Amino acid sequence: MKQIVLDVAARDQEIEHEELGAILTGLVDDDSQEQTFVAALVVVTVLAGLLLIGLGVYLSIFWGI
């Protein structure tokens, strides 16, 4: 009985991984979409870094932290 439950759980997990892989492959299936996706990630990362730097400068100048 335990073996059947473990087999079913392992099979369900494999199916979930395959579905997730298919979704992710579909998101970046086209080269232009992949380039756009990577460019968007770079832009978001740079903006987040600038925000953190700006926050640090603000806190150091006005609050002396």
What are the tens digits of pLDDT across the range 8-25?
555 666 666 666 666 556
Q: What does each of the 65 residues of the chain score in pLDDT, given as a tens digit?
A: 555 545 555 566 666 666 666 655 655 556 777 888 999 999 999 999 999 999 999 999 988 76
DSSP 28: T
Residue 52 is which amino acid? Answer: L
55, 65 contact by CB (below 8 A): no
CB contact at 8 A, 27 and 33? yes
pLDDT for 56: 92
Distances 5 to 12, 17, 19, 48 between C-alpha atoms, Å: 11, 18, 21, 45
Measure the CA–CA gap between 31 and 40, rounded to whole angstroms: 14
